[in-house]
């Protein structure tokens, strides 16, 4: 896939899947003894849409471990992420009545864990001339494949995590775990184009250790470190991708009792919640392992 493309080409993922399935089925047929086909499990299915959820979950876990380029070379982790986004997009586009998220649904936990582990050590590469080779995965792909937005509680959490990573530069788990409801404020300021511009202001304590300075500069630095202000501006062009609106929607789906808390921001989703429910989240913090997995995948996005 081209690093500059703005849309996911799901055919890359579908072709890679079919090629891998054919290779696996061929190898199994060639290596088994005579008449073994009468008792062995059915072959992997080339058509992803013919796989039920259990079959797809099991096969995807193997796919990300074993898939290779046509020339036999291994794919980079970000390219495998791209291929799987294409598979996810194909489900949404072509599978009527079956909307699954292979990255967040519990049934696909083993697959999600496998691809997250691959991405954990991934870093952008540098060309011989010193230029950075961008990730194959762009922010626009995540919106297109419904990994960002308000489609479900976990996707909404993923979106807020993405915004705070992108706009605040928060790239560590501990930085995100320090976020709290009490430090977010919705603000506005005059704007020549729209009359008024909204933004989220987050006042937080700095995570950097204090420098050993004396006198006025020491006091100035201390105040700056203990009252860091970060802003996240509205998206005027696209309300469905607006950080301010999605934050407000998140608040509307949280219990009233948590909205002033100083010790939590990302909440654990309710189990089996309906999208039309008033409350999507419990009062408990999101599990550390879930937050860490989501952040690992977000850090593989080009714009971050």
* Segment (H or E) for 7: none
| Percent helix, percent strand, percent coil in the chain, to nearest 5 | 45, 10, 40
Q: Position of tokens 């850090």?
A: 299
Q: What is the number of other CB atoms lying within 10 angstroms of the CB of residue 114?
A: 18
Mean pLDDT of the chain: 83
Percent of the chain with pLDDT over 90: 54
Residue 7: pLDDT band with limits 50, 70, 90 = confident
pLDDT of residue 97: 54
- Is 246 in contact with 160 (CB distance < 8 Å)? yes
Out of 112-121, 190-199, 282-291, pick the least confident. Answer: 190-199
pLDDT of residue 49: 83
Q: Is 247 exposed, middle or buried (0-12, 13-18, 19+ CB in 10 A)?
A: buried
pLDDT (tens digit, 9 = 90+) per residue, 224-266? 444 478 899 999 889 999 999 999 999 999 999 999 999 999 9
pLDDT higher at 261 or 276: 261
- Is 25 in contact with 44 (CB distance < 8 Å)? yes
User: How is the chain split into domains, by residue range?
Assistant: 1-147, 150-205+226-287
pLDDT of residue 21: 92
pLDDT of residue 205: 57
CA dist 124 and 142 (Å) reads: 18
């Amino acid at each position: 896939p081209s690093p500059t493309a703005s849309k996911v080409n799901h055919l890359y993922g579908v072709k890679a899947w079919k090629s891998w399935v054919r290779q696996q089925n061929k190898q199994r047929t060639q290596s088994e003894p005579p008449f073994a086909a009468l008792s062995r499990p059915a072959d992997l299915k080339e058509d992803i849409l013919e796989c039920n959820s259990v079959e797809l979950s099991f096969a995807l876990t193997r796919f990300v471990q074993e898939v290779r380029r046509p020339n036999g070379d291994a794919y980079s982790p970000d390219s495998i992420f791209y291929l799987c986004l294409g598979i996810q997009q194909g489900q949404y586009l072509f599978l009527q009545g079956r909307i699954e998220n292979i990255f967040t649904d519990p049934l696909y936990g083993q697959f999600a864990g496998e691809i997250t582990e691959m991405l954990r050590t991934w870093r952008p590469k540098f060309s011989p001339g010193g230029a950075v080779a961008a990730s194959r995965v762009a922010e626009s792909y995540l919106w297109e494949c419904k990994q960002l937005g308000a489609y479900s509680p976990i996707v909404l959490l993923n979106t807020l995590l993405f915004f705070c990573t992108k706009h605040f530069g928060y790239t560590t788990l501990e930085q995100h775990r320090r976020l709290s409801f009490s430090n977010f404020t919705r603000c506005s300021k005059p704007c020549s184009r729209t009359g008024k511009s909204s933004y989220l202001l987050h006042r937080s304590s700095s995570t950097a250790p204090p420098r050993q300075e004396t006198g006025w500069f020491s006091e100035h630095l201390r105040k700056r470190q203990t009252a860091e202000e970060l802003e996240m501006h509205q998206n005027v062009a696209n309300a469905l991708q607006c950080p301010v609106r999605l934050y407000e929607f998140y608040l509307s789906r949280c219990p009233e009792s948590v909205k002033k808390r100083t010790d939590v921001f990302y909440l654990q989703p309710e189990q089996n919640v309906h999208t039309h429910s008033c409350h999507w989240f419990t009062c408990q913090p999101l599990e550390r392992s879930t937050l860490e997995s989501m952040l690992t995948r977000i850090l593989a996005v080009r714009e971050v």
